[in-house]
C-alpha cells in the first residue's frame, strides 16, 4: 500500500511495543502515592516536557486530552467566558471546531463565520469587519486540513490584540504542529489544539495548550488530574507515544522532500486539466479537483491498486458536502470531483512516482468510462 492520506492519520512510529510494555507492566495509577506509581507519573511529566519543549511552551501549559476534538470542544465551551458577547470563527475550521461553534450558537451565542480567500486562507478584511468590542473569542485554524493552506497566525493575533486585547484567541494546530518552524510564544495564541495520531502517535490522545495566566474551567470534571483542569486517569500509553512520536517526527520530517513530492505530483497532474485548490505555499496536503470524474469512484479504483488517498477530510467524507471547499468557491460538482492527497514522513519519491503513474492512468480510464 502507498499511504497518501497522512492528514487523516499516520502510522505509529518508534518503539510502540516498548510503550505498550511499560503500560502493561507499570500499570499503576499515576495518581497513587507509592513509588511504582510515582515512576509512571514521572514518565508522564517527562512526556509533557517533551511536547512543551517542541511547542516552545512551559510544561505547565500543556494539558493532555483524549484527542484534538476534545481540545477544540474544551477551547470553545470554556474559552468563551462571556456568553453574551460574540465569537468569530474562520470558515475553514475542522468539523470539531465548526460543530463546537454551532453548539455555542444553539445556546444563543452570536457566532460569526469569517470568509475565506480563494486560496483557502482567512479573509482578514472580513475577519476584522466581524470583530468588535463585544467579541470575546476568535478561532482561526493554523493549517487547513482540507487544502493545506497556512494562516499567518502570529500576524493575525497581533492585529486582533491591537483591536481588542481581551479577546481569547484559539487556533487549531493539528495539521501544523511540527511541520513548520514556529514557537507558540511567537504565535501569541491563548489556546492551541494538537493531536498525536497526525504525527505518528497513537490515536486517542491530544493536548490543549493553555497560556499561563488564562484560567479556563475544566470541560471534564472528576479526580482533578492534569493540574485539576482535565480529570480522568491518564492515558499512559497514549501520552508516552505522543512524546516519542513528536520527537521522532521533528527529527525525521523532511520539509524539502515533502515540497518536492507535492511539486512532482502537481507537475504530472496539471496536463490532465486539473485544478489545485489552496495556496501555492501549501506543503503536506494537496487538494485537487479533477473535472469529469467522481472522486469517490477514483478513491476506490486507487485503493484496488494499492494507493490510499482521501476525499477532503476523513470526518467530512461521510457527507458529500464539503463546507471548506464550498467556502473557497467550489460548486457541488467540483467538490464531488475533489481528492485530498497528503504526504508524510513514511513516503518517498519512489512511492510518489509510482502512485502518480497509477493516479494518471485511473483518471484517464475513469474519464473514458464516464464519457
Q: Is position 315 annotated as part of the catalytic site?
A: yes
Q: How far apart are CB 13 and ligand PLP at their closest, in Å?
A: 16
Taking Cα atoms as reference points, which of 180, 119, 113 lies closest to residue 146? Answer: 119
Taking Cα atoms as reference points, which of 278, 266, 254 lies closest to residue 356? Answer: 266
**Does residue 174 bind ligand PLP (CB under 6 A)?**
yes
Q: How far apart are CB 25 and ligand PLP at their closest, in Å?
A: 27
Q: In the structure grid, which three cell numbers stand for residue 15, read together?
A: 518503539
Quick one: which of 175, 279, 287, 322 contacts ligand PLP (CB under 6 A)? 175
Residues 184-203 that bind ligand PLP (CB under 6 A): 195
CA distance 185 to 336: 40
CA distance 321 to 64: 32
Quick one: which of 67, 153, 160, 219 contacts ligand PLP (CB under 6 A)? 67
Quick one: which of 2, 51, 57, 68 contacts ligand PLP (CB under 6 A)? 68
**Does residue 316 bind ligand PLP (CB under 6 A)?**
no
Residue placing its CB nearer to ligand PLP in the complex, 96 or 135: 96
Residue placing its CB nearer to ligand PLP in the complex, 67 or 127: 67
CA distance 258 to 358: 19
Q: How far apart are CB 205 and ligand PLP at their closest, in Å?
A: 8
Taking Cα atoms as reference points, which of 343, 335, 325 lies closest to residue 296? Answer: 335
**Does residue 323 bind ligand PLP (CB under 6 A)?**
no
Residues 26-65 that bind ligand PLP (CB under 6 A): none
Quick one: which of 145, 244, 287, 322 contacts ligand PLP (CB under 6 A)? 145
- For residue 102, the 8-state DSSP code is H
Quick one: which of 30, 79, 201, 206 contacts ligand PLP (CB under 6 A)? 206
Contacts by residues 216-220 (CB-CB < 8 Å, ≥ 24 positions apart): 216/74, 216/75, 216/78, 216/79, 216/81, 216/191, 217/78, 218/74, 218/78, 219/70, 219/73, 219/74, 219/77, 219/78, 220/70
Quick one: which of 5, 61, 172, 362 contacts ligand PLP (CB under 6 A)? 172
The residue assigned the cell 479537483 is 289
Could you tell me the sign of the dihedral formed by the alpha carbons of 285, 290, 311, 356, in that order? negative
Q: How far apart are CB 93 and ligand PLP at their closest, in Å?
A: 8
How many residues touch ligand PLP under the rule CB under 6 A: the total is 13
Which residues lie closer than 8 Å to 53 by C-beta, 6 or more apart?
A: none
- Among 13, 24, 67, 315, which one carries the catalytic annotation? 315
Which residues lie closer than 8 Å to 350 by C-beta, 6 or more apart?
A: none
Q: Which residues are catalytic?
A: 315
Residues that bind ligand PLP (CB under 6 A): 67-69, 94, 96, 145, 172, 174-175, 195, 206, 313, 315
Amino acid at each position: 500500500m502507498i499511504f497518501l492520506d497522512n492528514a487523516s492519520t499516520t502510522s505509529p512510529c518508534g518503539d510502540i511495543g516498548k510503550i505498550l510494555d511499560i503500560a502493561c507492566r507499570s500499570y499503576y495509577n499515576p495518581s497513587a502515592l507509592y513509588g511504582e506509581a510515582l515512576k509512571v507519573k514521572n514518565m508522564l511529566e517527562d512526556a509533557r516536557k517533551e511536547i512543551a519543549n517542541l511547542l516552545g511552551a512551559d510544561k505547565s501549559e500543556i494539558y493532555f486530552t483524549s484527542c484534538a476534538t476534545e481540545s477544540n470542544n474544551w477551547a470553545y465551551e470554556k474559552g468563551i467566558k462571556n456568553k453574551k458577547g460574540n465569537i468569530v470563527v474562520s470558515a475553514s475550521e475542522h468539523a470539531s471546531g465548526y460543530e463546537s461553534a454551532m453548539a455555542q450558537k444553539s445556546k444563543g451565542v452570536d457566532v460569526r463565520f469569517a470568509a475565506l480567500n480563494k486560496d483557502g486562507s482567512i479573509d482578514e478584511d472580513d475577519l476584522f469587519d466581524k470583530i468588535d468590542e463585544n467579541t470575546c473569542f476568535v478561532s482561526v485554524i493554523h493549517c487547513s486540513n482540507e487544502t493545506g493552506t497556512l494562516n499567518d497566525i502570529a500576524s493575525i493575533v497581533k492585529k486582533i490584540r491591537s483591536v481588542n486585547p481581551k479577546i481569547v484567541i484559539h487556533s487549531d494546530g493539528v495539521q501544523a504542529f511540527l511541520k513548520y518552524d514556529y514557537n507558540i510564544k511567537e504565535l501569541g495564541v491563548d489556546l492551541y489544539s494538537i493531536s498525536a495520531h497526525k504525527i505518528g502517535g497513537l490515536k486517542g490522545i491530544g493536548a490543549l495548550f493553555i497560556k499561563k495566566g488564562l484560567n479556563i474551567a475544566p470541560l471534564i470534571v472528576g479526580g482533578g488530574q492534569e493540574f485539576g483542569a482535565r480529570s480522568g486517569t491518564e492515558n499512559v500509553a497514549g501520552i508516552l507515544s505522543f512524546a516519542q512520536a513528536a520527537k521522532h517526527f521533528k527529527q525525521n520530517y523532511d520539509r524539502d522532500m515533502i515540497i518536492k513530492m507535492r511539486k512532482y505530483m502537481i507537475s504530472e497532474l496539471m496536463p490532465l486539466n486539473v485544478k489545485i485548490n489552496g495556496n501555492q505555499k501549501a506543503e503536506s496536503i494537496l487538494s485537487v479537483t479533477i473535472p469529469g470524474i467522481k472522486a469517490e469512484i477514483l478513491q476506490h479504483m486507487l485503493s484496488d491498486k494499492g494507493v490510499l488517498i482521501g476525499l477532503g477530510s476523513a470526518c467530512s467524507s461521510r457527507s458529500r458536502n464539503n463546507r471548506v471547499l464550498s467556502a473557497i468557491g467550489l460548486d457541488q460538482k467540483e467538490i464531488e470531483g475533489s481528492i485530498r492527497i497528503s504526504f508524510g514522513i513514511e513516503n518517498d519519491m519512489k512511492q510518489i512516482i509510482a502512485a502518480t503513474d497509477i493516479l494518471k492512468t485511473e483518471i484517464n480510464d475513469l474519464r473514458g468510462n464516464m464519457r
